[in-house]
Amino acid sequence: MKSYRKVLAFNTKTRRAFINITPQIQECLRESGIKEGLLLCNPMHITASVFINDDEPGLHRDFEALLEKLAPEKPYDQYYHNGYEDNADAHLKRTIMGREVVVAITEGKLDLGTWEQIFYGEFDGKRDKRVLVKIIGE
């Protein structure tokens, strides 16, 4: 069995962002040489998500609206967590959007559905963040 590990780096200009990382994940898969197996991808942070959904700008605005409704960024003092920090909303948003994705690798390709794309969801940006890609198989 082969094993591959890579860490991708992000530093968004805005506090929140959705980035389609499917091309970078495909590049990792190509680099790994693995043809059959499983790929795991997760942020190495508790204020960011990796999730799978449609690459459609309207939907991304809908996500932003939903997350701001459920866990609004402001006022900061509405959260117990915000004693020393201002990112309670980011922790909550990450929990709603999920931590990681697992994708099957078949015949050297990501075995995704027609409209499935892999996204990095940043909820407390403007700082260095890392995303782990782990692939196992043969």
Can you tell me the distance from the alpha carbon of 121 to that of 115, in angstroms, rounded to the nearest whole number? Answer: 18
Q: Can you give the length of the chain in residues?
A: 138
Q: How many CA atoms lie within 13 A of 1 on its CB side?
A: 6
Nearer to Zn ion, 80 or 113 (CB): 80
Q: What share of the chain is helix, strand, coil (3-state, %, to 5)?
A: 30, 35, 35
Nearer to Zn ion, 94 or 134 (CB): 94
Residue 132 CB, nearest distance to Zn ion (Å)?
20
List residues near Zn ion by CB under 5 A.
85, 87
Nearer to Zn ion, 46 or 104 (CB): 46
Residue 80 CB, nearest distance to Zn ion (Å)?
11
Residue 133 CB, nearest distance to Zn ion (Å)?
25
Can you tell me the distance from the alpha carbon of 75 to that of 65, in angstroms, rounded to the nearest whole number? Answer: 16
Nearer to Zn ion, 62 or 85 (CB): 85
Residue 21 CB, nearest distance to Zn ion (Å)?
23
